[in-house]
Amino acid sequence: MSEAVLTIRDLHQYFERGTINETHALQGINLTVTEGEFVTIIGGNGAGKSTLLNSIAGTLPVDTGQVVLEGKDITYDSVTTRARWIARVFQDPKMGTAQRLSVAENMALALKRGEHHSLFRIGTPRSSRPRFKEALKRLNLGLEERLDTEIGLLSGGQRQAITLLMATLQKPELLLLDEHTAALDPKTSATVLQLTQQLVQEEDLTALMITHNMQDAIKYGNRLWMLDHGRIVVDVAGDEKKHLTVPDLLELFNKASQEQMTDDELLLSSDN
256 binds another protein (CB under 8 A): no
Contact indicator for 236, 204 with CB cutoff of 8 Å: no
Least gap, CB of 174 to another protein (angstroms): 13
The residue among 205, 224, 211, 217 whose CA lies nearest residue 180 is 211
Find the helix or strand (DSSP H, E) in which 176 lies.
strand 174-178
Sheet hosting strand 23-34, strand order edge to edge? 23-34, 4-15, 64-69, 72-73
131 binds another protein (CB under 8 A): no
57 binds another protein (CB under 8 A): yes
119 binds another protein (CB under 8 A): yes
95 binds another protein (CB under 8 A): yes
Least gap, CB of 118 to another protein (angstroms): 5
Q: For another protein, which residue of 1, 19, 121, 186 counts as binding (CB under 8 A)?
A: 121
Q: How far is CA 94 from the centre of its chain?
A: 16
State the DSSP code for 2.
P
The window from 21-29, 86-94, 192-200, 226-234 that contacts another protein (CB under 8 A) reads 86-94
Least gap, CB of 203 to another protein (angstroms): 18
Instruction: Pick out residues in 150-209 that bind another protein (CB under 8 A).
Output: 166
72 binds another protein (CB under 8 A): no
Cα–Cα distance, 235 to 7 (Å, whole number): 15
Q: For another protein, which residue of 19, 45, 118, 272 counts as binding (CB under 8 A)?
A: 118
- Per the document, the length of the chain is 272
Q: Which residues lie below 8 Å from residue 136, measured CB to CB, with a gap of 6+?
A: 103, 143, 144, 147, 162, 165
Least gap, CB of 228 to another protein (angstroms): 28
Hey, how many other C-beta atoms are within 10 angstroms of the C-beta on 260? Answer: 15
270 binds another protein (CB under 8 A): no
Q: For another protein, which residue of 73, 115, 240, 265 counts as binding (CB under 8 A)?
A: 115
- HSE, side-chain direction, 13 A CA sphere, residue 2: 10
SS3 65: strand
127 binds another protein (CB under 8 A): no
Cβ nearer to another protein, comparing 102 with 196: 102
108 binds another protein (CB under 8 A): yes
Cβ nearer to another protein, comparing 55 with 230: 55
Give 25's strand partners: none
Cα–Cα distance, 225 to 90 (Å, whole number): 19
Binding-site ranges for another protein (CB under 8 A): 57, 59, 78-81, 83-84, 87-88, 90, 94-101, 105-106, 108-110, 112-115, 117-124, 166
